[in-house]
Structure 1
């Protein structure tokens, strides 16, 4: 397709950057190739040279998100035990996903489009193997932390799509009043279910890592 005079050549990086920026404005449901094209001041078919459909765009966006996460974490502190290695992985992933509206939903089920993550993943798995995990157990342990974190952030972002923003329908007081005295425990649970996500994430992460230690972890302890 011919470009208008003065228009710069479109490339995949521009499309992905625009997609991530629009994600924070309109969310996953509002993000379309047509919307991205409008933002870039091109016709939608121009995008198909680079991304064939929305899923391909999401794959590229998820890859860019992981690249951002890998670039900002740095190396593991000397002397970190395997529990802290897994905890750091979960915390780093959560921070990366929370940077974007619906970030966890975008990341879930996507296919990475390059191998830029491989070096850091290899180093992480080697550290776990050196701590006494079998290679298979190291991979499964990392996956368990990954899916816990991803699922937790999906639920967190349903309530708080962005920091400081609260979705309608999650008011704890209104929920308790709707449940009434007939369901006191369910009414009381709202304060724990829909608040203090930082503390709840750390609590859940600790439980997950303790479970990994009991089922997959090194067998060197008596």
Structure 2
């Protein structure tokens, strides 16, 4: 059976999980597929193009779990859920945030990007403001996912410092924060993401309601 681009992308996703972004190369991917490296260039022009397709594959579940805006649905709730879905996808897959951070949409992804932009414009944003909003939310989500993975790597390498382990008398506010937050885990990190998204969306709502716009 002839090799397809989907075969190449699927194998690249599997290899990413095995060796991480640093270990992913076209030569290594070709060996995994049992073909010569030049064969891959029939399907992807270079590694960056491959990573663009890998990024879209990693986020495929996000698009399915956050469907287009339904009639009567609140655009802000829709945007928030899409952002959370993207965050969850990025923390699920190894190095996914680093792959997505540099990607550009392929032709296959443009209809979804168009629909997202159209939703924000339909909410009252101008095209430029809609684009800046989409990029700002995306950068926040990607950065949050990078931080999540960095915290997990740190926890695996260093001796943990328990919450509340500092002098509570000298740092009473920090002690209160430690008590309120509880032990560090993935759920707590998503609370930070939710809070940040709420701040961004509340600010966007206020901007849209400003009669001076």
TM-score by length of 2: 0.77
Unaligned runs of 5+ in 1: 1-7
Does 1:118 find its partner at 2:113?
A: no
- Structure 1 counterpart SS, 2:210: coil
- Distance in structure 1 (CA, Å) of the matches to 2:71 and 2:152: 35
Does 1:100 find its partner at 2:100?
A: no
The counterpart of 2:7, out of the listed 1, 14, 25, is 14
**Count, aligned residues:** 206
Query: Compared with structure 1, are the counterparts of its residues 45 and 169 closer, same or farther at alpha carbon in structure 2 (3 Å cutoff)?
Result: farther
Question: Which structure shows the bigger proportion of residues in helix conformation?
Answer: 2
Once the 2 structures are TM-superposed, how far is the Cα of residue 213 of structure 1 from its aligned partner? 3.2
Output one character per residue of 1:68-116: Cα deviation in whole Å (capped at 9) or x when no partner: 43234223344332321220221121133233211110011212222x3
Does 1:35 find its partner at 2:39?
A: no
The counterpart of 2:157, out of the listed 137, 160, 168, is 168
- Structure 1 counterpart SS, 2:69: coil
Tell me if structure 1 keeps the 8 A contact 2:91–2:145. yes
Does 1:24 find its partner at 2:17?
A: yes
- Distance in structure 2 (CA, Å) of the matches to 1:125 and 1:52: 28
Query: Compared with structure 1, are the counterparts of its residues 99 and 80 closer, same or farther at alpha carbon in structure 2 (3 Å cutoff)?
Result: same
- Distance in structure 2 (CA, Å) of the matches to 1:136 and 1:66: 24
Query: Compared with structure 1, are the counterparts of its residues 101 and 190 closer, same or farther at alpha carbon in structure 2 (3 Å cutoff)?
Result: farther
Query: Compared with structure 1, are the counterparts of its residues 80 and 169 closer, same or farther at alpha carbon in structure 2 (3 Å cutoff)?
Result: farther
Query: Compared with structure 1, are the counterparts of its residues 79 and 53 closer, same or farther at alpha carbon in structure 2 (3 Å cutoff)?
Result: same
Query: Compared with structure 1, are the counterparts of its residues 171 and 138 closer, same or farther at alpha carbon in structure 2 (3 Å cutoff)?
Result: same
Instruction: Map 1:111-190 onto structure 2 (within 5 A).
Output: 111-114=104-107, 116-160=108-152, 167-169=156-158, 171-173=160-162
- Structure 1 counterpart SS, 2:41: helix
Tell me if structure 2 keeps the 8 A contact 1:86–1:145. no
- Distance in structure 2 (CA, Å) of the matches to 1:29 and 1:70: 27
- Distance in structure 2 (CA, Å) of the matches to 1:86 and 1:146: 11
Output one character per residue of 1:173-209: Cα deviation in whole Å (capped at 9) or x when no partner: 3x997x999x958x86899695421211111111222
Query: Compared with structure 1, are the counterparts of its residues 190 and 20 closer, same or farther at alpha carbon in structure 2 (3 Å cutoff)?
Result: farther
Which segment is superposed worse, 191-200 or 32-41? 191-200
Query: Compared with structure 1, are the counterparts of its residues 120 and 46 closer, same or farther at alpha carbon in structure 2 (3 Å cutoff)?
Result: closer
Instruction: Map 1:50-61 onto structure 2 (within 5 A).
Output: 50-61=43-54
Output one character per residue of 1:13-43: Cα deviation in whole Å (capped at 9) or x when no partner: 1111011011112211121222212221223
Which segment is superposed worse, 53-62 or 187-196? 187-196
